[in-house]
Amino acid sequence: MARRSAPVTIEQLLAAKEIVIHCGSGGVGKTTTAAAAAAEAAIHLGGKVLVLTVDPAKRLANALGLEAFGNVETQVPEAAFKAAGVAPRGQLWAAMLDTKQSWDDLIRRHAPDPATRDAILRNPLYQSLMGRFVQSHDYIAMERLYDIHSSGRYDLIVVDTPPTRNAIDFLEAPAHMADFFSSRFLRWLTVPARSRVLNFASKPFYTVADRILGSQFLEDIAEFFLLFQSMHDGFVDRARAVTHVLSDRRTTFVVVSTLESAPVREAEFFIRELDRRDLHLGAVVLNKVLPEFLRDRPSTAVANRLCHDGPKLAAALKGVGDAKQVARVLKEVGESFINFQVVAEREAEARAELAASPEVIATVPYFDADIFDLAGLIRLGDRLWR
Amino acid sequence: VTTPLLDRKLVFVTGKGGVGKTTVAAALALLASQQGRRTLVGEVDAKGNLADFYEVPPTSFQAREVAPNLFAMSMHTEESLKEYLRLQLKVPFVARMGPLARTFDFVAQAAPGVKEVLIIGKFLWEVRERHYDLVVVDGAATGHAVALLAAPQGIRDLVKVGLVREQTGWMLDILGDPAQTGAVIVASPEEMPVNETIELAGRITAETNVNLACVIVNRVLPELFGRGEEEVFDRICQPANAERLAAAAGGPTTAVLDGAHLAVTLRRTRAGHLARLRGGLVEGTELLYVPELFTRHHGVRATQLVADALSQELGY
């Protein structure tokens, strides 16, 4: 069972934790929610708050002043808060995750000597592996989080997770990375580069592999992994430490979802997985939720009348405009209400399913415009906070 | 002259998570099958939910007929490897190759492109063998999609000799032929999906030899008011008029009128993103529109509604 605590507010949750990881399926507004929560924490709780984001929309990046700085942690200027009409108690910092840059930094830190370091950084397999290997994004995100947290520079770090199909992948990334470097297969693979004499066990593999992939390619791989082996211990220790931080009591997870069926299913899956891993589920945030008034029953009857009695109702609205046009507008208004009510009802059902989990459920309404500045972010954050 | 989408042999559907990528892939395949094409639809993600869109039991690597002319499967790289070794490389004793498959799985993780080539290669193989008139791939989300489509070329660049290299030749021929292969990006008219679609369209053109057939915009909201009607609506909303309306309709009007306001603003926000999408794509990129479905239905009935909308957009 996940460690559950008595329901609290998002404010209490953020005050009690040092790392808050936002997760959920793509497109639900994880990044924005994480940024809004961090802004609120900086305003109300004080201290140094960092939002570490993976892939912010351009406007959000602008709102946080990330456009020019990227991978470097940067303070959101006081002036931006002033323009939004608030005086924060603490500081808000922001950083974006640049996968390639972070990997290069990691190699520089773990390489035993400059020659190995340069050989790895120049290796075409390394470049292509870090660029394309999807899990490398997951791992580096958690690695960077660990690095920043252990530096002690921030009181609170709010993170959003990479847009993976299975939101759970990043949880497994550190362990996976450790397995990867400890693997028996890796040792097998590097055999030909170390010794031309193949042992009995690995010979059939090489015979087939050679036929399929060609020996040159196998040697390229082997060379790359021999270089990587020199960093084995550092990497494995590090991956373990990263895994440890995720399950630390100072870390909590916020599951973000809209009330559409696919994200809800994924949110439920994620809640179960957190449970299974004994990780702390802090809150469920429901984003882009349609307003409750769309489900109002007496209004349904009115909407139906607008659809069917347009001409009669238009007669009651003398002076508003051409009677036919008024009737048409009333019909459109009525139909639109019925349409959106269908969606709102669907959302209510999804919400009831999610409500089975006892954690804080915060609801954020559908905003009529996109968020493009700090004021917009704070407006969203205020809805979260209460 | 471009080949109509469903007259191609391989349609690769991609898009940001949450925009309705699987919905569109399922609907395109359903439409093609209903037009009499023997169609295979395959999901790259083994944990995907393609089966839900047809209301059938979960898909597996072995394709199964889920509706007349329509076959569904899901990708499994190890199964794909075994099939590949057995049918194409004629490597015997596949049954005893459990450890070998595991080893390859490892190589596939380590060597970029190997896993991807096993995935895209399976679908390309179905095309080459002419088992189906059309293969629709419910591809991975954005980033991984480019990796899949670029894999055969990537492998060709990395692997200088061997059977795998030889195999990439025919794959590239099919992928690079716009009469046979087309990529489809599914987008929704929201900020991030539009950004990602513009970026992905550029990457598909720059990093792969695959033709971008079209962009399908899902969940487009209908225009609520025609010319001059919005002014009429504003007048109706004036307190005195709203009260008269409430009296005539015999019930509260606030929620209904607020609902119309919400619909108008949502539509306006999305229209802005749509305009940005049109402006951000290379001129001549075809755009198809699927309306927001205000329906209670899930599953195959919803899939059919999307298929109908697409049928209209494709000019059938």
**Position A234 confidence tier, pLDDT thresholds 50, 70, 90:** confident
Please answer yes or no on whether B262 and A369 come within 8 Å at the CB atom: no
pLDDT at residue A122, rounded to an integer: 83
pLDDT of A211 > 60? The answer is: yes
Q: Which chain B residues are Cβ-neighbours of A129 within 8 angstroms?
A: 110, 112
What are the tens digits of pLDDT across the range A59-104? 677 777 667 666 788 899 888 899 889 999 999 999 888 777 888 8
Residue A194, pLDDT score:
52
Residue of B nearest to A162 (CA): B143
Q: Which residues of A touch B236 (CB under 8 A)?
A: 317, 320, 326, 329-330, 333
Task: Give the pLDDT of residue A243.
Answer: 83
Task: Inform me whether the pLDDT recorded for B109 exceeds 70.
Answer: no
Residue A1's pLDDT band (cuts 50, 70, 90):
very low
pLDDT at site A185 = 59
Give yes or no for a contact between A366 and A286, defined as CB atoms under 8 angstroms apart: no
Structure tokens at B61: 């690597």
Q: pLDDT tens digit string along B210-261? A: 999 999 999 999 889 988 899 999 999 999 999 999 999 999 999 999 999 9
B47 — pLDDT class (breaks 50, 70, 90): confident
Nearest CA-CA distance, residue B233 and chain A, Å: 7
Q: Which residue has the higher pLDDT, B189 or B78?
A: B189
Amino acid at B53: F
What lies within 8 Å, CB to CB, of A201 at 6+ separation is none
Each residue's pLDDT tens digit, A333-356: 999 999 999 999 999 998 888 877
Q: In this structure, how many other beta carbons lie within 10 angstroms of the beta carbon of residue B86?
A: 15
CA separation for the pair B52, B250 (Å, rounded): 43
Inter-residue contact A129 to A136 (CB < 8 Å):
yes
Task: Please give the pLDDT value at position B95.
Answer: 47
For residue A196, pLDDT beyond 50:
no
Check residues A193 and B36 and name the one with the higher pLDDT: B36
Give the Cα separation of A247 and A253 in Å (integer).
10
Q: How far is A178 from chain B (nearest CA, A)?
A: 14
Note the pLDDT of residue B81. 77
Q: Give the per-residue pLDDT at B287.
A: 96
**Segment B92-115 mean pLDDT:** 60
Count Cβ atoms within 10 A of the Cβ of residue A140 and give its class: 0-12 exposed, 13-18 middle, 19 or more buried.
Answer: buried
Residue A361: pLDDT band by 50, 70, 90 thresholds? confident
pTM of the model: 0.85
Does the distance separating the beta carbons of A298 and B18 come in below 8 Å? no
Average pLDDT over residues A317-345: 94
| Per-residue tokens: A248 | 């630390």
Which pLDDT belongs to residue B123? 96
Question: What is the pLDDT of chain B when averaged over all its residues?
Answer: 89
Convert the pLDDT of each residue in A283-298 to its tens digit.
999 998 999 999 999 9
Please give the pLDDT value at position B262. Answer: 93
Report the residue of A256, A307, A339, A349 to disrupt the B interface, i.e. the one with the largest count of B CBs within 10 Å.
Answer: A339
The ipTM assigned to this model is 0.87
Q: What pLDDT shows up at residue B240?
A: 94
Q: CB distance B18–A213 less than 8 Å?
A: no
Contact A26 B18 (CB under 8 A): yes
* Mean per-residue pLDDT, B137-153: 85
Q: Which residue has the higher pLDDT, A174 or B48?
A: B48
Partners of A21 in the β-ladder: A159, A253
How far B305 CA sits from the closest chain A CA (Å)?
Answer: 15
